[in-house]
């Protein structure tokens, strides 16, 4: 699984629409849809805003949760 797949999965699991996410991030709907399709990746500030909006970690969205667990890293 990669970033755009996890983004879509988390959005749906939180019961949010693409329009809600676009509005929350202050971007147009088409740009948010490109995040979910993998055509465009958000910058650092948008990534943090996405994680905050979905109440999840950036590590999870970036598929680093398993790496951190495997290496015993607490994220510090």
Which domains occur in the chain, in start order? 3-68 (1.10.260.40)
pTM: 0.85
pLDDT along the chain (76 residues), means of 10: 96 98 98 98 98 95 81 57
Position 75 scores a pLDDT of: 45
Q: For residues 43 and 76, what is the distance between their CA atoms, to the nearest angstrom?
A: 21
Q: For residues 71 and 76, what is the distance between their CA atoms, to the nearest angstrom?
A: 12
- 16, two tokens: 């949010």
The CB-based long-range contact list for 31-37 (8 Å cut-off, 24+ gap) reads 35/4, 35/7, 36/4, 36/7, 36/8, 36/11, 37/4
Tokens 């019961």, residue? 15
């Amino acid at each position: 699984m990669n970033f755009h797949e996890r983004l879509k999965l988390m959005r749906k699991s939180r019961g949010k629409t693409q329009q809600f996410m676009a509005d929350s991030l202050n971007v147009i709907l088409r740009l948010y849809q490109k995040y979910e399709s993998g055509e465009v990746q958000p910058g650092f500030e948008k990534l943090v805003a996405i994680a905050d909006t979905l109440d999840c970690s950036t590590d999870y969205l970036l598929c680093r949760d398993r790496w951190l667990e495997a290496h015993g890293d607490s994220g510090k």
